[in-house]
Structure 1
């Protein structure tokens, strides 16, 4: 607890004492320019979108402009027919140590309510293409929430997850009380939210928050490999499968099963379903065309 308090305090000091440090503007393959993230294509076929948070001096604190840039990059990859999956990562020291406290410290209730503060963060969840979080180091507060917005979380063996907002006199505001509870259950989520305590990568895997843990030096490469595997399938069918799984978190079992059945039936209107089954019968590799 004491260490967590010091981390939260350190993040606050960093945010207050340093001006916004913009990295050299980076251009993606499509020409969009970003100041706080690095954007490129990865994988042997260039079919995995790659977004790296790049505010290292602030432990990748999630300022408003950074999150808007993440949304723009996601849109860019969503509209790129070559991209089949997206990897989102930070640095080896911090995926993201939290939201930028400097931007919050003087906000009023009226400003937050009228502007629906943090709502645009949900843009991470709205795309059809799967997003894989590759988490190293601190994923605290907004950083933990950002990771949970992704579809799959891979963690480095030194990663730490937590919702320490209670130590700053507030509560999670970007899904921390909701997604964490659905991922790890009420008891652990309640403990983390009410105490601000962190859990390790190994505890996160055991509780169901992350799917796999790798050495810190390997986690990004492993996430890209996962993205390549997903991208080798039909992008159209992948989007349907993602919608069905997400439905399990929002619908009753009966409603979810009806959604799944409708989407399953819908695959029979696609060329890729026919190609996939014919390839299986003919014992060859399927050639999907995303149609």
Structure 2
């Protein structure tokens, strides 16, 4: 999270950067938070690790939500947890028909993270957002498009090339990049204020839930069963 946050800050300062594309060259778009930093610790160290993870999470989400230039996401593989929570914070979201999106928080026994309780509810409505968060069911790229979680659908065979073309088209059609940035600022103004409240409430609960012995055991069981991937999320940026 820190590396991507620093990269976004550098792109914000770079006048040659007109937009940022978040995608993966192959495999998962995002595998969610890496919970291994919370395992195998004494209660005091676990508490400190949970508080540090919550702080880093808040700073990361603020950086994504506050990024002033157009932000395009391309999901061509699995997108889990925090990866899904990030999508409403992007300006354009393209998914392949083979992509899967999932919020596994009910299985983890925690509340959602990344401000998802506000951003996803605002985007999808209470019923659809609640169903995704409470059931933990994985949805396809086509379902994500139908649910209003994506801008467009990509065909897997040419997904990466089509994604680049879509991002370039947005920039080529803009008479002035400053106009795009101003439009984004106006659209995102109310979201950012309410997102901050959601982040505060979520992280306060998450620290408590992450420290619980029941959470520790659930995570171990899911890891042992191969149902959660241990690798850290990876992003390619252009």
C-alpha spacing 1:248/1:218, structure 2 compared with 1 (3 Å): farther
The correspondence for 1:183, drawn from 115, 118, 123, is: 123
Aligned to 2:88: 148
Q: How many residues align?
A: 186
Aligned to 1:99, the other structure's residue is in SS state: coil
Partner of 1:68: 2
Maintained 8 Å contact 1:141/1:176:
no
Q: What TM-score results when the alignment is normalised by the length of structure 1? A: 0.58
Equivalent pair of 1:85/1:230 in contact (CA under 8 Å): no
Say whether 1:121 aligns with 2:60.
yes
Where does structure 1 differ by over 6 angstroms across 4 or more consecutive aligned residues? none
Q: 1:104 aligns with which of 18, 24, 38?
A: 38
When residues 182 and 218 of structure 1 are mapped into structure 2, their CA distance, relative to the original with a 3 A threshold, is farther
State which of 188, 192, 206 in structure 1 corresponds to 2:132.
192
Q: Partners in 1 of 2:56 and 2:2 — Cα distance?
A: 13
RMSD: 2.3
SS in structure 2 at match of 1:128: coil
Alpha-carbon displacement from aligned partner over 1:147-172 (angstroms, at most 9, x marks no partner): 33322110011111111022112121
Counterpart Cα distance in 1 of 2:26 and 2:119: 24
The gaps in structure 1 that reach 5 residues or longer are: 1-66, 253-291
TM-score, reference length from structure 2: 0.70
Aligned to 1:217, the other structure's residue is in SS state helix
Cα deviation for residue 76 of structure 1 reads 2.0
Measure how far apart 1:231 and its partner are. Answer: 2.7
Change in CA separation of 1:72 and 1:240 when aligned onto 2, cut-off 3 Å: same
**CA–CA separation in structure 2 for the residues paired with 1:229 and 1:248:** 27
1:81 paired residue number = 15
Q: Contact (CA 8 Å) 1:92, 1:216: kept in 2 or not?
A: no
Aligned partner of 1:219 among 151, 159, 168: 159
Question: Between Structure 1 and Structure 2, which shows a larger proportion of strand residues?
Answer: 1
Measured in 1, the distance between the counterparts of 2:193 and 2:111 equals: 26
Bigger CA radius of gyration: 1
| Secondary structure in 1 matching 2:29 | strand
The structure with the greater share of residues assigned to helix is 2
Instruction: Name the SS of the counterpart of 1:209 in structure 2.
Output: coil
1:245-290 superposed Cα distances (whole Å, 9 cap, x missing partner) = 22364689xxxxxxxxxxxxxxxxxxxxxxxxxxxxxxxxxxxxxx
The 8 Å contact of residues 155 and 212 in structure 1, kept in 2 or not, is answered as: yes
